[in-house]
Each structure stands twice: as structure tokens, then as C-alpha cells.
Amino acid sequence: MTGPKQTLQTTESRAPSRGRRRTRADEQRDDTERTQDEREVCPECGTDAITDDEHGETVCGDCGMVLEEDLVDHGPEWRAFDSREKNEKSRVGAPTTQMLHDKGLSSVIDWQNKDAYGSALSPRKRQKMQRLRTWDERFRAQSARDRNLKQALGEITRMASALDLPDNVQETASVVYRRALEDDLLPGRSIEAMATASLYAAARQANVPRSLDEFAPVSRVDRREFARAYRYIVKELDLALEPADPLDYLPRFCSELAVPNELKHRAEELLEAGKRQSVHSGKSPVGLAAAAIYAASLLTDEKLTQREIGEAADVSEVTIRNRYKELLQADEEFQQTPQATA
């Protein structure tokens, strides 16, 4: 009787042992998660902790208490001191982007006719690589939707480069065009018009001031056509766009004209006074910004002609003459209000 009982006890003792090992693993995982949560706040003063990647430490941002040291660096093991060295040592591809029709997930054959050692290819191999590039381009855009996206996103990149727009505007424009394509808004409208409208809407969303007149020279379609496409996109996609502010155009025009800061500040004050008096309602923000610069130049005794300002802002001299008088009158009326005297 003793032998079987001992065997039974041994078997029963092993089963809970395996159960305890699983429980310990869970407890260790929970302890690790609790430890990570505790690292975010200093236990002494309750201030948020700061991770110093350079020294491999987590320290309190207030009292300086070291919460953890010898952190693991999850970055690359190599160092690079310029962009060329970084590209040579990097072993990963570019991140995904909305600016490519396949979001950058497909492979691209390099245009350089060199092998892995940097040696030039023979004429026969160069001819073979050229054929492979051609087939690679065809396979990357097989469907009609991919070909549409490829052409449109190429137009967006070209126009954004010509207008010196940042990458975030290009990304937003690509997303807007993809939404228009998914909602089947393109039938009956040209790809170029919808691409231009998407880029203009993205610039408006990012508060990067560009007027429709600035898009006209770089677009492949007529101004009236892409303006109609822009209104259609805003309505169908329900884009939340605020009216263009003349103050957004002012820094760029002042930079092109190389005006002093005093003139720039005075022009901002004129535009603010004009907005309080509702002078900007129904008028072009570009014309108002140009008129504010001219009016400020008269008030600060700076020698700026209407022609110089008109060429920088791409507006006519007649527009500047009409608008600057309205801004000066609005500023004079605002100075007489109790709000200005207070």
C-alpha cells in the first residue's frame, strides 16, 4: 500500500508544479508590465520620467533620480555621420508612403547599371536589365486603378516640387485622391484636374498658403477646370476647410521682398484691423496681403512700389490700390473704437 500511495503523491505533486510554472511566467509578465508602468512616473516625486537614449538611462525629469540604467539600444549597431554613409550601411528599405501607388511595398530595380561590387555591367547585361526594368514597371501597375493612381500621384509629386510644398502636403493630397478614387468621383473628370484639386485641398488643410493662380502655371489643365474639381471634391468628401487667411500669405511675400520686421508687423496689424472691420469678407486673401504690405510701407516710410509687390504676390496694381485704401480706412476706424483705446 505504501508504494502506490507514494507514486500517486508524486504524480499529483508534478501536476501542480507545472501549473505553478505557468503561473510564475504569468506573474513575471505582469511584474514586467507593472515595472514598465512604474518607470513612467518617479516613485519619489511623482514626476514623469525621461528616457535618455544616449546614456541608456531612465531618469526623473524633476529630481534627477535614476530609475533604470543600462537600457537596451534597439537601434542599428552601426554609426553614420552623413546621409551617404547612412544609405550605404542601411539594410532596410524606405518606409511605406501614400505618395506611391503601391505604398512603396514593391521592389524597384535600380537605374544604375552596376553590380553589387560597383563594377559596370557589360553591354549585354545592361540590355537585359533594361528589359527587366520595363517588365517590372508593367507588373507594378497591372490594374486600371493602379495605373490611375500611378499617373495621379506622379502629377501630385511634380506639382508639389514645382510649388515647393512639404512632404506632409503631398501625403495628404495622396490620401484625398485615394478617397476620391474609392468613392468613384473620377468618372467624367480628368486625372490631372482631380490631382491638382487634391493638392490644393491638402495645402489648404495644412495651412500652407498657395492660391489658385499659383497652381495654374504648373497644372496641365485649365484653372477653371481644376477649380471646379476642387469644389466637387470638397463637397463630396465633406472636407473641413477654413477660409484662407491673408496673414498666412504675408510671411512669404515679406520674405521675397526682403522687408524689415517693422513693416511686417505693421502689415499684420492692418490685416487684423481689417478682419475686425470685416474688410476681408468676399475678397482675395492674396490681394489683401499685398495691399497690407504696400500700406505698411507708406506708414513706415519704406520705398516699395506697387509693381514690385504685385510681381511678388502675382496680383495687379489695381487690386493693390483698391485694397490698401480700404485697409487704411479700416485701421483708422478701429483706432477710434473703445477696444483699441483700451
42 is in an annotated binding site: yes
Tell me the C-alpha distance between 340 and 335, whole Å. 5
Of the candidates 105, 278, 98, the one whose C-alpha atom is nearest the C-alpha of residue 182 is: 98
Measured CA to CA, the distance from residue 68 to residue 57 in angstroms comes to 6
Q: How far, CA to CA in Å, does 137 sit from each of 68, 128, 129? A: 51, 14, 12
CB within 8 A of 322, min separation 6: which ones?
A: 291
Task: Measure the CA angle with vertex 86, ends 82 and 89; round to 5°.
Answer: 140
C-alpha angle 194-199-200 in degrees, rounded to nearest 5 = 95
Residues 6+ apart with CB under 8 A from 260: 300, 302
Residue 63 counted as an annotated binding residue: yes
- Residue 114's SS3 state is strand
Question: Binding residue per annotation — 254?
Answer: no
Tell me how far apart the alpha carbons of residues 135 and 146 are, in angstroms, rounded to a whole number: 15
Known binding residues = 42, 45, 60, 63
Known binding residues for Zn(2+) = 42, 45, 60, 63
